[in-house]
Amino acid sequence: MTETRYATTQDPVLASKVEACAEGARVSCAFAIDWRNRHIAHRDLALAIKNSAAVPLASASRTDVDAALKSIRAVLGLGTESLQLRIQPSAQSSSASIKN
């Protein structure tokens, strides 16, 4: 079986849609990035020692997480909608039947 993939990376309309969607995802995921950078991956010293001058972590609620995941799905959805996959059977496999 031969696969031919066509990616529409040269499409300026798609590129602008992806960029707008990705920017929305960056905004909606900002709280998660803050938590990742200052609490999970790189423990912020001021936060760790409970320094009163420390900038508090961004608030994070279930609603925020749902919105962030929805924005990521939107970006990924644009990518899968834009990819056209055409499968062309080879001459040999087209005459053979598939057996279970």
pLDDT for residue 82: 63
Q: What per-residue confidence (pLDDT) applies to 39?
A: 83
Helix, strand, coil distribution of the chain in percent, nearest 5: 60, 10, 30
Which sequence spans correspond to the domains of the chain? Answer: 2-95
Does residue 89 contact residue 96 with C-beta atoms inside 8 Å?
Answer: no
Task: List the pLDDT tens digit at each of the 100 positions of the chain.
Answer: 444 444 445 778 888 888 899 999 999 999 999 999 888 877 888 888 889 888 888 999 999 999 999 999 999 888 666 654 333 445 445 445 455 4
Q: Would you state the pLDDT for residue 83?
A: 58
pTM above 0.75, yes or no: no
